[in-house]
Amino acid sequence: MSVVYCHIFRRLISYNPYRKKSTTMPLKRVFFWQPNAGSTVNSQILNEVSQCVESINGVKEGRWKATLTFYKPMLRDQALSAEFPREFIGISLPEQPNKYYFVLRFNKIVLESDSSIQLIMEKLQSYKSRVALNFEGFQYQLGDFQLRVGKVVPSHSENLRGIVMEVEYLPISSLEKSKQIMEEFFDIWQDAISKRSLPGRFIHIEPDFSDYGLADHYTSQHTAVQYTHVTSQLIASVQAVQTGRN
């Protein structure tokens, strides 16, 4: 890593050996990999991204995994399917092992509940799991930042559908107050990853959290909403590639 990067990072990242996480929820941004036109995501890109994190002194800490499930309504008359939510999503997050999140993207509803809500949904038999996606990989510590890089794969397959990256800034929970530092960090990251000349880039499109009734203070419900939106963007991206091929 060059002397210039070291200097810039030290402005952003406090190398405090006694650093501890904020007692409130630290905020994060979730990025997804957008391949260039004509290219697709593959495991080589995932390896390059992971190596890039390590090249800027990210310390590998361990594995992580989140799961996103699409639920479909069980209808007696399929012709009436328009009366029911188009996207009903359930999410489990590694930082909240006893919780489960539901998101209705088009209704702008997010719910946090105990993980036993999944058993209730099974007993109700009104909605069933249609397909599940796993987001899994390694997490890295980088001063006051925590990075997670992961592949997106269907739960019963190893077919790589996408790559995501979480950037978590530990000291602050305010979305507004953290904007500048997150953008500065990402600029540095973009600079580092661009040197690998990969056929694509990471994109973050921030959902309007206020539409979901979420405040400036970051919570796991914000994360659930981000994963819902990232997934829809990933799907759109895959469909665009397939349309281009056809």
Binding site for other proteins (CB under 8 A): 73-77, 80, 83-85, 88, 102, 104, 107, 109-117, 119-120, 123-127, 213, 221
Judged by phi (left if over 0) then psi (alpha if -120 to 50, else beta), residue 32 lies in beta
Q: Which amino acid is at 52?
A: C
Output the smallest distance, CB 76 to other proteins, in A.
Answer: 5
Give least dist CB 36 to other proteins, A.
38
**Which CB atom, from 45 or from 91, has the smaller least distance to other proteins?**
91
* Min dist. Cβ of residue 30 to other proteins (A): 20
Q: Residue 123 or residue 156: which is nearer to other proteins going by CB?
A: 123
- The residue (of 111 and 235) whose beta carbon lies closer to other proteins is 111
Closer to other proteins by CB, 73 or 199: give it. Answer: 73
Q: How far is the CB of 109 from other proteins (least distance, A)?
A: 5
The neighbouring-strand residues paired with 163 are 151
Of 46 and 89, nearer to other proteins (C-beta) is 89
What tokens appear for 108 in the block? 């702008």
Label residue 246 exposed, middle or buried (CB < 10 Å: 0-12, 13-18, 19+). Answer: exposed
Cα 28 → chain centroid: 9
Residue 37: CB atoms within 10 Å: 10
Q: How many CB atoms lie within 10 A of CB 76?
A: 5
Cβ at position 22, least distance to other proteins in Å? 21
CB atoms within 10 A of CB 125: 8
